[in-house]
Amino acid sequence: MEKIIDEYKQGESLILEAKENNQRKLFIESYGCAMNFSDSEIVASILANEGFNTTQNLEDADLVLVNTCSIRDKAEQTIRKRLEKYNAVKKINPKMKVGVLGCMAERLKEKFLEEEKIVDLVVGPDAYKDLPNLIAEVEDGRNAVNVILSKEETYADISPIRLNSNGVTAFVSITRGCDNMCTFCVVPFTRGRERSRNPQSILEEVNDLWNKGYKEITLLGQNVDSYLWYGGGLKKDFVKASEIQQATAINFSKLLDLCAQAQPKMRIRFSTSNPQDMSLDVIKTMAKHNNICNYIHLPVQSGSNRILKEMNRQHTREEYFELIDNIKRIIPDCTISHDLIVGFPTETEEDHQDTLSLMEYVKYSFGYMFTYSERPGTLAERKMKDDIPEAVKKRRFNDILQLQQKHSLYRTQQDLGKIVEVLIEKESKKSSAHWSGRNEHNTVVVFPKENYKIGDFVNVKANECTSATLIGEAVGLSNNN
């Protein structure tokens, strides 16, 4: 392992030097989930070695890359609108080349070039290391496409360049792909099979971030609970691994433990969890370390057993309740958020009531809520009719939205009058005299700036709240500084 570290340092200083001497300008923007934002930082690093500096100015760019999302039709429409914008800019900046990255690129492949004439380059989530070659092809006047999904690629050897960073919080990706095949989801088709990143390179990145002054990391994956390192390769091939490999394998709770011990003052979050794969060990590891935040994002998608089956979610509502009960038993003040879809094919009023009663049982602090959007190539699209009328989808969406707002207020009110530890991330959107940060429960907290600064852990007395924000006053620096 010694050699790789050297390369990092060398590489990094090279990047710094190269960066200073870089003449070409890269404009990169990301849409969708945190994985895409984290991937764009990998791309920026790969292209920094090819003479590209990142620019915030589209009109100046030699290369424009958009990291796309395909999770819903609306997300793809957003990308098409951005490409129209690029078209307008290309008139005043004819030299600029345009590339599409991410899940929509992987889903559409060569078709993207036919459908969107402005596009010169189509690159899937596992092919970013091929960007230098693909850009050379485009500069030779040819279109370029690489959408090959990989069995190994985790970009473990790439040190990300932090984009739009507050210098305090950062994403650290730990797995890629997903094997779960939920019937509504395109991710397994656009991001491939599950593979986990070498824990050594994860720990190096965590230590490097701490040394650079970062105070919080989020361990990232489509399904972090499925993390399993046994020397490289696909999760599904673990069964074929040698006895020693199986005996020394590192699963998610062990990785969490390693990260928490490596930097005891670094705040640790993780996303996204999956109820069918989350183990009690993970919850116990969270309880063992003060620096692992007591907050879990635990998508459920529906409260109806019949719909969960249709979605191919490998758990029942009862098993989900049992997991919630275990979380509350081991970490009583743990806050939980969710993902929910309403209007899935064949969803009845009774199924919808099951979703509402599940929400009532958990009383989530926060949630990402959507109406079902049929995705090309998924099992649901191939086998099920999108039969719930838009009006019914909308009404059911409003039902869960209103209930969630009631529960979010209920949860935020539970912190009123308490002293909460806040990591300052930025200036409040609403007032330049106030700082904004989050407590370990992932609740936004706003308070007067006084002499505190970004990156400080501050104890704040919570005096007022809305459903999403605590408003308070600082009562001093926390011991975690």
Among 22, 53, 274, 355, binds ligand SF4 (CB under 6 A): 274
Q: What share of the chain is helix, strand, coil (3-state, %, to 5)?
A: 40, 20, 35
Q: How far is residue 159's CA from residue 154's CA, in Å, rounded to a whole number?
A: 12
Q: Does 178 bind ligand SF4 (CB under 6 A)?
A: yes
Query: Residue 136: which H helix or E strand, with range?
Result: helix 131-139
Among 99, 188, 192, 275, binds ligand SF4 (CB under 6 A): 188
In a 10 Å sphere around its CB, with 0-12 CB exposed, 13-18 middle and 19+ buried, how is residue 361 labelled? middle
Which segment (184-192, 228-236, 289-297, 388-396) binds ligand SF4 by CB under 6 A? 184-192
Nearer to ligand SF4, 188 or 455 (CB): 188
Stretch that binds ligand SF4, among 17-25, 175-183, 281-289, 472-480 (CB under 6 A): 175-183
Structure tokens at 7: 């390369």
Task: Determine, following the binding rule CB under 6 A, whether residue 380 of this chain makes contact with ligand SF4.
Answer: no
Instruction: Give the count of residues interacting with ligand SF4 (CB under 6 A).
Output: 10
Neighbours of 147 (CB within 10 A): 18
Query: How far is the C-alpha of 448 from the C-alpha of 433, rounded, in Å?
Result: 6
- Calculate the CA 337 to chain-centre distance: 14
Structural contact between residues 126 and 102, judged by C-beta atoms closer than 8 angstroms: no
222 binds ligand SF4 (CB under 6 A): yes
Query: Among residues 182 and 470, whose Cβ is nearest to ligand SF4?
Result: 182
User: Given the complex with ligand SF4, which of 189 and 364 has the nearer CB atom?
Assistant: 189
Q: Between 187 and 460, whose beta carbon lies closer to ligand SF4?
A: 187
The yes or no reply on residue 437 touching ligand SF4 (CB under 6 A) is: no
Q: Which of 321, 227, 235, 224 is nearest to 269 (CA)?
A: 224
Instruction: For ligand SF4, give the closer residue by CB, 44 or 182.
Output: 182
Q: Shortest gap between Cβ of 274 and ligand SF4 (angstroms)?
A: 5
Kindly state whether residue 182 participates in binding ligand SF4, applying the rule CB under 6 A. Answer: yes
What is the length of the chain?
481
Considering the rule CB under 6 A, would residue 223 count as an interface residue with ligand SF4?
A: yes
Tell whether residue 175 is a contact of ligand SF4 (CB under 6 A): no
- Among the candidate windows 72-80, 101-109, 180-188, 347-355, which touches ligand SF4 by CB under 6 A? 180-188
How does DSSP assign 247-282, residue by residue? HT-EEHHHHHHHHHHHSTTSEEEEE---TTT--HHH
For position 209 contacting ligand SF4 by CB under 6 A, the verdict is: no
- Residue numbers at the binding site for ligand SF4 (CB under 6 A): 178, 180-182, 185, 187-188, 222-223, 274
